Amino acid sequence: MRLLILGGTVFLGYALAEEAVARGHEVTIFSRGKSASGLLSNVKHLIGDRDGGLQALEQGTWDAVIDTSGYVPRLVKASAELLEGRVGQYTFISSVSVYRDLSRPGAVEEDVVLELEDEESEDVAAHYGALKARCEAVLAEQLPGRVLVIRPGLIVGPRDPTDRFTYWPSRIARGGDVLAPGPTAAPVQIIDVRDLASWILSMTEARRTGVFNAAGEPGRVTMQALLERSCSALNPSARLVWADGDFLAGQGAGAWVELPLWLPASGETAAFTGLVQVKVDKALDAGLSFRPLEETIRDTAEWDAGRPADIPRKAGLAPEREAELLAAWQRRQSM
């Protein structure tokens, strides 16, 4: 296939380009050229900007485009209009964050999605899910019958720029007492970026259309399973110290970022606990599969260990903060 990837130099985009080249496709990447642009060989690089800098896309035809960098409806519409007569299929990477109600588990593709209260808003940080949902609608209007929408959950693995999963393998690899947020049975729904990329390409090759959730299989991984299997894979001497979720909340521990993957079922995060419990039956029926969790754990830790130590990590407890919380928990236990 002649494949165009909008993005293609960071995380999922990179994994898609890498896998597509391995499959023998003719790959073109369109990006701003600011991230890892020289790391992939056998790929044509087009430099530009989705906001007013699409000139590099004015020539050329492709069998399919995979849009990994579409967040603003206006810009997605501009790309679709420009490419409409020169691409076959349009695969759009959306998000499970589009669903209006994520307070309950089991979101399916037919569920109601968010709407933009302010149609003029392009504030991605404030309206990420609603903007993604509107991007989906724009593409359905512009390219009817030619759009594949993928709604990923939490994507993890090597090259993850968020560090939300990476913190745990890397922290456990260091050993010692590791603060672990309870409850132990809390669901952790993750998908390795390489599994996701492989499946997206297979769906694109098959000219599939429609909407698909793409996340880990519900019930496959819990917080306890993730951390214990990380210990087994990386450092059996690491000691998990499980702390009660209410205690951690009382200590001001930050959910999701400071303590990655921790989503308390009370407080502000209660509205988002369904984020890690979406249904993926439709994707499983379409061939989505998962590598062993230990492979993701080991590969992520190895990749992170190769990064310069002075690069700030975006998620996880600072060592001094972890020590503070561990000491407070131990005092609580001794009372």
8 confidence band (pLDDT: 50, 70, 90): confident
pLDDT above 70: residue 37: no
Amino acid at 288: L
List helix spans (H) across the chain.
Answer: 12-22, 73-83, 124-142, 167-174, 193-205, 223-234, 245-250, 281-285, 293-305, 319-334
- The residue-averaged pLDDT of 167-182 equals 98
Beta-bridge partners for 152: 214
Tell me the residue length of the chain.
335
Q: Give yes or no for residue 127 having a pLDDT over 90.
A: yes
The pLDDT confidence band at residue 267, using thresholds 50, 70 and 90, is: confident
In angstroms, the CA 331 to CA 197 distance is 46
- 41-50, 76-85, 125-134, 223-232: least confident range: 41-50
Question: Of 23, 66, 64, which is closest to residue 42 (Cα–Cα)?
Answer: 23
Lowest mean pLDDT among 27-41, 103-117, 284-298: 27-41
pLDDT, mean of residues 283-303? 98
Residue 123: what pLDDT?
97
pLDDT given for residue 35 in this prediction: 73
> 2-152 belongs to which homologous superfamily?
NAD(P)-binding Rossmann-like Domain (3.40.50.720)
Give the SS3 label for residue 64: strand
Strand partners, 92: 67, 149
DSSP letter string, 90-153: EEEE--GGGBS--SSS---TTS-B---SSTT---HHHHHHHHHHHHHHHHHHHSTT-EEEEEE-
C-beta neighbour count of 315 within 10 angstroms: 19
Output the pTM of the full model: 0.96
State mean pLDDT over 257-263: 96
With 80 as the cut, is the pLDDT of residue 36 above it? Answer: no
Span(s) in the chain for CATH 3.40.50.720: 2-152
Q: How far apart are CA 213 and CA 94, in angstroms?
A: 9
pLDDT confidence of residue 266: 85
Q: Which pLDDT score is estimated for 38?
A: 56
Q: From residue 318, how far is each of 23, 155, 302 by CA, in Å?
A: 41, 23, 20
Over the stretch 162-174, which tens digit does the pLDDT of each residue have? Answer: 999 999 999 999 9
Please write the tens of the pLDDT for every residue from 128-165: 999 999 999 999 999 999 999 999 999 999 999 999 99
For residue 259, the SS3 value is: strand
Q: b/e for 82-120, b at 16 or more Cβ within 10 A?
A: ebeeebebbbbbbbbbbbeebeebebebebebbebeeee
